[in-house]
Structure 1
Amino acid sequence: MMKKTVLLGAALFLVISPLETVMANDNGASAANTAQAISKQGMFTNAVVERTKDGTIKLHWQTIADLGPVKVYWSANPDGGWKELARTYASFGGLSTADPNPGSRVYFKIKGGNGAMIKTAERLLPLQGTTNFRDLGGYRTTDGKTVKWGKLFRADELAGLSASDISYLQKSGLKTIVDYRTDDEVKQKPDPTIAGMKYVRNPVFGQSGSGTDLMNYMAAGEFEKMGKPGDVLIAANRDMVDHPEAYVKLFDMMLDPARADLVQHCTAGKDRTGLGSALMLLALGVPKETVVQDFMLSNKYRETYNKAAVGAMVKQFNLTDENAIEIIKALMDVRPEYINAAFDEMASKYGSIQGFLEKGIGLSTDKQAKLKKMYLE
């Protein structure tokens, strides 16, 4: 039953846009004494990139102390090839610019007069055919390193990608598309074939199931069979921890340089993909609090869609009961209790999140060290 229920969530979930904040990066301080010196002089603590409706790119940054003159660089490659874009002052807190790389992914490096530096990029990719395709880069780990930009992505369904979207992704360096959806979902909205990318079917809930039972419950007005608002997805997150085979396969791909630089996706990019993203970040040493913040971003990106979808279902099923409407809203949302149910299940079955990574996923200390070497800077 629970396997079917989460699939309803997936089947209902399309998605929406905006973007979010980036965690700080301190690439300019590699040695301990340099780090201490920069800390005394000042450093960047955060940098965010936003795109306006007319395509203008706005960079915002925060610093400790005034870093004086600032140089801003851009590149299509987060690992190098930087070109100077602008010169300004740290005290201005940011700048607006035309897109220096239209139709392609662009990364920014901001360097202060004292050598302090931070990399950043748009978290949400500016694609026409998806609404929740985002980069997991920029998050700070507990040991002060940062998840590399442009290596690990999470997304919703890809069936709506336009020709320009596909061109954008081909230029991004992506190697692998990991699809968590069921056979029924894939059959209804298959991913496009993208030259240069390996497509991997990796269903979280096996080969079948479509959430038909839940749709029938709603159509019949039998919302009591779905429990309290949120119960379906709380149970689903526990179930995903109890049956982690798809995530074991995910990490096998992450550890393979030939398949690294990947995007994992489901239908909405919020539940199955949400747990996969959480596991990725946790294995790299990102704090649980930050992981939950990333999980919750889907509400921001989906906000407009969720309102429209809930309204449409209320009309379709002629709902007046507030509890029934709240159940539908809960299916469309992500909530802290959903991902925390997964964490609680890990602790219950494996003693801790780390225990789950080691025993449930099979990530030895050596494998986790390799992941960090591959995806952190």
Structure 2
Amino acid sequence: MPVLLPLEQGVNFRDLGGYRTKDGQQIKANKVIRAASLGNLSPKDIDFLAEYGLRHDVDFRSSEEQENAPDKVPTGATYHFVPVFPEDETKSTAKDQRAKQFFTDLQAGFNNMLRAYHDIVLTDSAKKAYRHFFDVLLENSDEGRSVLFHCSAGKDRTGMGAIYLLTALGVDEATIKRDYLASNKYLAPWQEKQLAKRQLPKTGQEIYLTNLRALGSVNETYLETAMNVMQREYGSLENYLHNELALTKLQVADLKKIYLDRV
């Protein structure tokens, strides 16, 4: 099964190797990693990733996120900046006119995430980003070379990237959903530390914390929102991959050759 990488300052770094496909194959280890931000990695972490074979870093974050915490990558790794959104829709910011609702509306954070998952399917920037992601994956044919893809927390934009890749490789839906939801387990300690650092308002503290937890976690309903939009607009997830992300049958076959092994 997939391995949580033992990094000092990296959160939610997971090698997707080990997942089984429906036709009896298995994703290779040291080939594809999903992760949160690379902005806080230690020199030891960077050395670890270099030895792990990291050759491509796909960054789904916005320009503002990138500027606030630039990626730290091993020498020789190629950096790909492909923002899913023009700005981060998966968390609140001071500029967001909806931010004030996080102090008064118990459902504001949850509803914000539903909007983000709706947009992650439909926006042109998201489609362009995930198409580029597949282009990078298809370039990574040498053995022992890894592609890493990430956003800030490694749960939403990264989570959808993992869903698209695992679907293309033929992993079953139940396993894909478990991988998506596993971010809650791996992020929980880090998220609570972040919450503890925040200066809480004098009024509406519980509402505010509830909304921050909704913004900082994944939820089956978030995923269902994305899947329902795909079903309604495009017929299925598979249609979305082929028609909106322009992933051809030949490219799917190539991905399987690069990333799968017979068990």
In 2, Cα distance between the equivalents of 1:144 and 1:208?
38
State the SS of the aligned residue for 2:54.
Answer: coil
Does the alignment pair 1:256 with 2:256?
no
Max radius of gyration: which structure?
1
Q: Which of 240, 244, 249 pairs up with 1:365?
A: 249
Q: Which aligned pairs between 1:194-273 and structure 2 lie closer than 5 A?
A: 194-206=74-86, 211-213=92-94, 217-218=98-99, 220=100, 223=103, 227-243=107-123, 244-257=127-140, 261-273=146-158
Q: Give the structure 1 partner of residue 228 of structure 2.
A: 344
Does the alignment pair 1:278 with 2:184?
no
Deviations 1:33-90 (A, max 9, x none): xxxxxxxxxxxxxxxxxxxxxxxxxxxxxxxxxxxxxxxxxxxxxxxxxxxxxxxxxx
CA positional deviation for 1:222: 5.5
CA positional deviation for 1:138: 0.6
Does the alignment pair 1:171 with 2:55?
no
In 1, Cα distance between the equivalents of 2:67 and 2:212?
25
Q: Give the structure 2 partner of residue 327 of structure 1.
A: 211
In 2, Cα distance between the equivalents of 1:321 and 1:167?
41
State the SS of the aligned residue for 2:25.
Answer: coil
What is the root-mean-square deviation in Å for CA atoms of aligned residues?
Answer: 2.4
After superposition, the Cα gap between the structure-2 partners of 1:125 and 1:208, relative to the gap in structure 1 and judged at 3 Å, is closer
* Bigger share in strand: 1
After superposition, the Cα gap between the structure-2 partners of 1:251 and 1:319, relative to the gap in structure 1 and judged at 3 Å, is farther
After superposition, the Cα gap between the structure-2 partners of 1:319 and 1:194, relative to the gap in structure 1 and judged at 3 Å, is farther
Letter in 2 for 1:202: V
Q: Which aligned pairs between 1:307-326 and structure 2 lie closer than 5 A?
A: 307-313=192-198, 315-320=199-204, 322-326=206-210
After superposition, the Cα gap between the structure-2 partners of 1:301 and 1:257, relative to the gap in structure 1 and judged at 3 Å, is closer
After superposition, the Cα gap between the structure-2 partners of 1:316 and 1:138, relative to the gap in structure 1 and judged at 3 Å, is same
TM-score, scaled relative to structure 2: 0.88
* Bigger share in helix: 2
Matched-pair contact (CA < 8 Å) for 1:179–1:200: yes
State the SS of the aligned residue for 2:57.
Answer: strand
CA positional deviation for 1:311: 4.1
Letter in 1 for 2:64: D
Does the alignment pair 1:130 with 2:130?
no
Matched-pair contact (CA < 8 Å) for 2:103–2:204: no
After superposition, the Cα gap between the structure-2 partners of 1:127 and 1:321, relative to the gap in structure 1 and judged at 3 Å, is closer
Q: Which of 23, 30, 54 pairs up with 1:150?
A: 30
Q: Give the structure 2 partner of residue 68 of structure 1.
A: none
Deviations 1:14-49 (A, max 9, x none): xxxxxxxx2xxxxxxxxxxxxxxxxxxxxxxxxxxx
Structure 1 unaligned blocks of 5 or more: 1-21, 23-121
CA positional deviation for 1:364: 1.6
CA positional deviation for 1:213: 4.7
The count of aligned residue pairs is 255
Matched-pair contact (CA < 8 Å) for 1:296–1:336: yes
Deviations 1:289-320 (A, max 9, x none): 1111011111111111222333444x422344
After superposition, the Cα gap between the structure-2 partners of 1:258 and 1:285, relative to the gap in structure 1 and judged at 3 Å, is closer
TM-score, scaled relative to structure 1: 0.62
Deviations 1:322-366 (A, max 9, x none): 444322211111111112211111111110111111111111222
Structure 2 unaligned blocks of 5 or more: none
- If asked which structure has higher relative contact order (CA below 8 Å, sep 6+), I would say 2
State the SS of the aligned residue for 1:200.
Answer: strand
Letter in 1 for 2:111: D
Matched-pair contact (CA < 8 Å) for 2:58–2:149: yes
In 1, Cα distance between the equivalents of 2:246 and 2:153?
27
Q: Which aligned pairs between 1:16-55 and structure 2 lie closer than 5 A?
A: 22=1
In 2, Cα distance between the equivalents of 1:198 and 1:343?
31
Percent identity reads 35
Matched-pair contact (CA < 8 Å) for 1:229–1:323: no
Matched-pair contact (CA < 8 Å) for 1:141–1:286: yes
CA positional deviation for 1:131: 1.5
